Amino acid sequence: MDRRQKAPVAPKAAGGNDRKSELVIITGLSGSGKGSVLKVLEDLGYYSVDNLPIDLIPKFADLTRDADTARLAALVVDIREGEGLKKFPAIFERVRRSIATKLVFMEAADDALMRRFSETRRPHPLGTGRSIEKSIKAERRQLAPIKALADLTINTSKFTVHELRDFINEKFGSDREESKIMIYITSFGFRHGVPPDSDLVFDVRFLPNPNYIAKFKHLTGRHPSVARYIRSFPQTQEFITRISELLTYLLPHYIQEGKSYLTIGFGCTGGHHRSVMIAEQIRKGLAAAGYKTKVTHRDTAKTV
C-alpha cells in the first residue's frame, strides 16, 4: 500500500478559525488524475493515503475525527480494490454520518484516457486480457453506483497537470466563490459538428460573415482587422452585451449548485471568424469579472 504522509497541519479558514476535521475520498477512473489530486491535497495540509483498503476506511475516519487537533485527511479508493468495491456505498454512508466527508469522482473522456495509457505504457488495473478501451468501459460500469454518490465530479479531459493542480488548489484552498468554477470557452464551426461536451451553445451565424471579404478569408477572428470588422455592426455589440449579462446571472447559480466547470461554445459556419472573435470577447469579460477562464479555437486550423 503506497502511503503519502505529511504533518497534518490544518490550513486556516476565513477569519482565522481552525477548520473542522474533514475527510475527502477520491475515486474515479484509472488515468483520470486521482494521484495528482491526492498530491495537491497533501500540499494543502491533508494527511494523505493512497489505495487504503475499504474495510479500513471507517477506522481511518475515526482517527481523523478524534485527533487532538482538527485534522484534514484525504484518501484514494478505486478499482484496485476489486470485489470489495461493492461495499463502498454502504461504508461511505456510514462514514459521512460520523465526520464531514466529501466524495470526489474523477473521470475523463475515453479517448483522453486511452491516450494517457498509451503515453505512459501502463497496463489498466483490470488486466491485459482485453483492450484498454474495453477495460475503460467495464470500469465505468463498475464505478457507476459510486459516481452517483459523488459530491464533486471532475472531468479532466481538458486539464493539463498544472491546470488540474490550480483547480484543486482553488476548490479546496480558497474561499472566493468565483474561483470555484472553471470556464472553458470554445469557438467552433457548425460544418464540423457541435462540441459534444458543451454545456451552453450559442449560434453567431446571424452576424455578417468576414469569409466573403477576400482580405479576411484566410485570417481568423483573432486578427485585429477581422475583429474590428465584426465589432462594427450594432448587432455584434448588442449580442456581446446580452450574453455577458446572461452569464453574469447564470454563473453564481451554477456555483451554488456545485458545478465545477462550464463549457460554453460559440459557433459560426466554419469556426474561423465570427465565433473566434466572440469567444475572445466573452473570455475577456469573464476574466475581468474574476472568473478563471480558458479559450480554445477548435476549427481554426481546418480548411476554410
Q: How far apart are CA 275 and CA 189, in angstroms?
A: 8
pLDDT at 18 over 80: no
pLDDT at 118 over 70: yes
pLDDT at 60 over 50: yes
Q: Is 21 strand, coil or helix?
A: coil
Placement of cell 486521482 in the chain: 34
Between 12 and 239, the more confident residue is 239
Q: What is the pLDDT of residue 245?
A: 94
* Element housing 3 (H / E): strand 3-4
245-250 contacts at long range (C-beta below 8 A, 24 or more positions apart)? 247/282, 247/286, 248/289
Q: How many CA atoms lie within 13 Å of 131's alpha carbon, on the beta-carbon side?
A: 6
**Averaged pLDDT score across all residues of the chain:** 86
- DSSP letters, 167-190, are HHHHHHH---GGGG-EEEEEEEEG
Q: 238 with 159: CB under 8 angstroms? A: no
pLDDT at 17 over 50: no
pLDDT at 19 over 80: no
Q: How far apart are CA 186 and CA 195, in angstroms?
A: 8
- 113 CB contacts (<8 Å, ≥6 apart)? 29, 30, 31, 32, 132, 136
Q: How far apart are CA 138 and CA 175, in angstroms?
A: 38
- 60 CB contacts (<8 Å, ≥6 apart)? 23, 49, 52, 73, 75
Q: Is 217 strand, coil or helix?
A: coil
pTM of the model: 0.58
Per-residue confidence at 6, pLDDT binned at 50, 70, 90? very low
Q: Is 249 strand, coil or helix?
A: helix
The domains of the chain, with CATH numbers, are 3-175 (3.40.50.300), 180-297 (no CATH)
> And the C-alpha cell for 113?
484516457
Q: What is the pLDDT of residue 68?
A: 63
> And the C-alpha cell for 64?
481523523
Nearest alpha-carbon partner for 177 in 78, 288, 251: 251
- Give strand pairing partners of 39: none
Q: What is the pLDDT of residue 69?
A: 56
Between 103 and 20, the more confident residue is 103
Per-residue confidence at 2, pLDDT binned at 50, 70, 90? very low
Between 4 and 248, the more confident residue is 248
Q: Is 187 strand, coil or helix?
A: strand
Distances (CA, A) of 287 to 183, 283, 290: 9, 6, 5
pLDDT tens digits for range 176-201: 444 468 899 999 999 999 998 899 99
What average pLDDT does this structure show over 235-253? 94
Q: What is the pLDDT of residue 296?
A: 94
pLDDT tens digits for range 206-228: 999 999 999 999 999 999 999 99
Q: How far apart are CA 245 and CA 69, in angstroms?
A: 45
Output the CA angle 283-287-290, nearest 5 degrees: 150
What average pLDDT does this structure show over 24-36? 94
Per-residue confidence at 161, pLDDT binned at 50, 70, 90? confident
